[in-house]
Amino acid sequence: MKATFFPFTDISQARLAAATAVFGSLLLYRPSRLDPAGALQAWVDRGALEIRIPVQGDENRLRVLLQEYQQWAELHGSRDLTRFKARQGEIPFFDDQSPLKIRSEILRQTGSAKTGPDAADALFQARVFLQMAQAFDRQQRELQQALEVVDDRQQAMLRELGDFDDRPPAPASRLAPAPDPGGHMTVERLTAWARLALQAPEADAVLVTDSPAAWDLFADRFPATLAMADWPVVSGLSADSAPAVEWRSELLAALERLAQTAWPAPGQPVLPPPPAAPPSPGPFALKLALVPETPLPMLLADLIGRPPMKVPSDRPSRHRHTLLALIA
């Protein structure tokens, strides 16, 4: 059972290491072919990460729009994604003299282009938004990493001056944790991501995120969601360690059974807890939840605002439920 990362189209290597320690491999959707795997390629090569592009084409249009967004952001000193939301249904981030903007207005005035939100290419808009969000998130992550490097150097300098002892700084003395990127336009992120994911062959029934905001939104959107496990500290795991491999095999088998069993299941399903391990760098918390009697295609359709649906006969789901995981 392969977990799918949501609602982002990029992931940090630290989070990828944690996710693969739990699930073995991870599926990541990308909105276009504009971004190669880059630093993630090593994970792809060893089978720990699969990158899928559910919809291809229009890469040149996407590239132009992304460049316009970046130019607008530099001009206004902001990469706030709410600018895109305010102009949905239009070509975003173009000034009045942009050739594409002028062409759009000519078509609109001559009646050659449909107007109104119903005529908008929702899927293309979703891809544009996700491409911009990916650039935004990557910039924020790089900024946070740069600040941490500066903080490390400052503390090293203070130790050399004798103001600190040789012990490593306590976690509380570090910089404040990076803000949750999913906390910025959470609904829009989930909607755009779900629209893209619906274009792909059905994935396994596990969705994993590192965004508490996205996790909380699911609980609000699907009130029947049931908490299945909450492990505050998972430490000392690496994807290749013997304890991790054994635990992961048991956990994935239990999740597969759980996803296929009619609900309510007889007795309370018990998921195997992670193995005890000594503290190590990069511990993380892990939560698991179940959205009962909601296969993944139904859940995605709900997220984009479609009415309740049955699983199409040409896309039968082998899972009765969707499972959620939060790694934070």
Residue that wins the pLDDT comparison between 302 and 113: 302
- Using a 10 angstrom Cβ sphere, with 0-12 exposed, 13-18 middle and 19 or more buried, the burial of residue 209 is buried
Q: What is the pLDDT of residues 63-72, one digit of tens each?
A: 888 888 777 7
Nearby residues of 28 by Cβ (< 8 Å), 6 or more positions away: 4, 5, 9, 10, 11, 40, 49, 50, 51, 52
Does the pLDDT at position 312 exceed 80? no
The helix/strand count (H/E) of the chain reads as 10, 7
Rounded to an integer, the average pLDDT of 34-48 is 88
Residue 113 CB neighbour total at 10 angstroms: 13
pTM of the model: 0.79
Q: How many residues does the chain have?
A: 328
Bond prior to 264 in cis (omega within 30° of 0): yes
Rounded to an integer, the average pLDDT of 200-206 is 87
pLDDT at position 110: 42
Element (H, E) at 319: none
Rounded to an integer, the average pLDDT of 75-92 is 53
Distance CA 283, CA 172 (A): 15
Residues β-bridged to residue 209: 326
Distance CA 152, CA 148 (A): 6
Least confident of 114-123, 173-182, 310-319: 114-123
Instruction: Look at residues 263, 236, 267 and name the one whose alpha carbon lies nearest to residue 323.
Output: 263
DSSP notation for 14-69: HHHHHHHHHHS-EEEE-S-SSS--GGGHHHHHTTSEEEE-SS---HHHHHHHHHHH
Question: Tokens 């941490």 label which residue?
Answer: 148
Distance CA 263, CA 293 (A): 7
Query: Is residue 101 very low, low, confident or very high in pLDDT (cuts 50, 70, 90)?
Result: very low
Query: Is residue 95 very low, low, confident or very high in pLDDT (cuts 50, 70, 90)?
Result: very low
Mean pLDDT value across the chain = 78
CB neighbour burial string for 226-241, b if at least 16 within 10 angstroms, e if fewer: bebbeeeebbbbebee
pLDDT at position 264: 81
325 token code pair: 């995981």
Rounded to an integer, the average pLDDT of 228-245 is 82
Does the pLDDT at position 267 exceed 80? no
Does the pLDDT at position 246 exceed 60? yes
Does the pLDDT at position 201 exceed 90? no
Residue that wins the pLDDT comparison between 6 and 62: 6
Does the pLDDT at position 186 exceed 80? yes
pLDDT at position 113: 45
319 token code pair: 């899972």
pLDDT at position 278: 60
